[in-house]
Amino acid sequence: MTNNEISEIRDYVEKRKVILPDGTKVSALGQGTWYMGENYSKKNEEIKSLKLGLELGMNLIDTAEMYGDGLSEELVGEVINDIRKDVFLISKVYPNNAGLNSISKACENSLKRLKTDYLDLYLLHWRGGIPLEETIEGMERLKKEGKILRWGVSNFDTDDMEELLNKSMGGNCVVNEVLYHLGSRGIEFDLLPWQRKKNIPTIAYCPLAQGGLLKNELLRNETLDEIAEEHSVKPLQIALAWTIREKNIISIPKASTVDHVIENAKATSITLSSKDIERLEVVFQKPNRKMSLDIV
């Protein structure tokens, strides 16, 4: 890519921002890392891809101690080693490590793998058996120690979020990361509007569906193909643009190749018309009732 091409794409990416409750602005399009770092033969390409994503303005990187039992964090650590200040870094803690006596050690281990001394955002990966009060206290302690700047949750449904916010300091939760894509819209019935009302942004993981048959069925849809052709882009770019069509949603697709990174970044230049969205909703319908939270 030429410098002009990089600059042009970066301009589009940087125009799409989400504002966190504390006023911090982050890219609406970030980079997921699930399964990255697990195949040594792909390591160099994955590092190159993540670095290009950062160069293109996708400065938010999401990882977790669960991903490859820390291999993803180690990979990300190599990517951000000399550019840490330019990255908004997210990692997640296992529910069984989210107790008051264990969360500090889990966070320290993640920091070591990531080769940094702080996280911009630390998430409880999903709800487990440890009381929320204990996890909140642990998160707040990590904030006071400077090991994390903010905390949030992942895979929390509406009732979980309501319970969380009713706890002391539970209102300090800044995001909820959940599965969300054209083929999985259940959160639109209650969770998404509830979070908007509370000014809690949503991070959409697996915004292109999570590989395999589901992804193929999603991206081979005739309507999606037609809209993509009209915009002179690929179906995956339309699907990705759809996830960030409204404010307060951060989308974190994974891209293990340079070409895929570029395709993802270019999705920020797509403006879907109301007619485009209506056509998609005929095929990928909005929920008309409460649905169980999809989790992958």
Determine, yes or no, domain membership for 290.
no
Domain range for 149: 3-282
- Residue 183 domain-assigned? yes
Chain position carrying tokens 């890219």: 27
Q: What is the DSSP letter of 206?
A: S
Residue 267 resides in a domain: yes
Which two structure tokens, joined as six digits, stand for 5?
């091409």
Q: Kindly state the greatest CA–CA separation across the chain.
A: 55
pLDDT for 218 beyond 90:
no
Q: Is the pLDDT of residue 25 over 70?
A: yes
Q: Going by C-beta distance under 8 Å and a sequence separation of 6 or more, which residues neighbour residue 7?
A: none
Per-residue pLDDT at 72: 98
* Residue 288, in any domain of the structure: no
The CATH number given to whatever domain includes residue 267 is: 3.20.20.100
Please choose, from the candidates 14, 269, 291, 270, the residue with its C-alpha nearest in 3D space to the C-alpha of residue 178.
Answer: 291
> What positions carry a catalytic annotation?
67
Question: CA 268, 184, 256, 81 torsion: positive or negative?
Answer: positive
What's the burial of 200, exposed, middle or buried (CB within 10 Å: 0-12/13-18/19+)?
buried
Calculate mean pLDDT across residues 36-60. 97
Q: How many domains does the chain have?
A: 1
Model confidence band, residue 38 (pLDDT cutoffs 50, 70, 90)? very high
Q: Is residue 293 part of a domain?
A: no
Q: What average pLDDT does range 93-116 have in this prediction?
A: 97
pLDDT, residue 219, reads 74
| pLDDT at residue 213, as a whole number | 47
Helix 3-15 and helix 258-266: axis angle, to 10°? 50
Residue 258 lies in a domain: yes
253 closest CA partner among 173, 182, 157: 182
Is residue 64 assigned to a domain? Answer: yes
pLDDT digits (tens, 9 = 90+) for 232-291: 999 999 999 999 999 899 999 999 999 999 999 999 999 999 999 999 999 999 999 999
- Per residue in 128-185, pLDDT (tens digit) is 999 999 999 999 999 999 999 999 999 999 999 999 999 999 999 999 999 999 999 9
pLDDT at position 130, please? 97
Report whether 277 contacts 162 (CB < 8 A).
no
Nearest to 236 by CA among 282, 279, 183, 188: 183
The pLDDT score that the predictor gives to residue 221 is 87
Q: Do the domain assignments include residue 265?
A: yes
DSSP label at residue 149: S
* pLDDT tens track for 182-217: 999 999 999 999 999 999 999 999 999 876 545 677
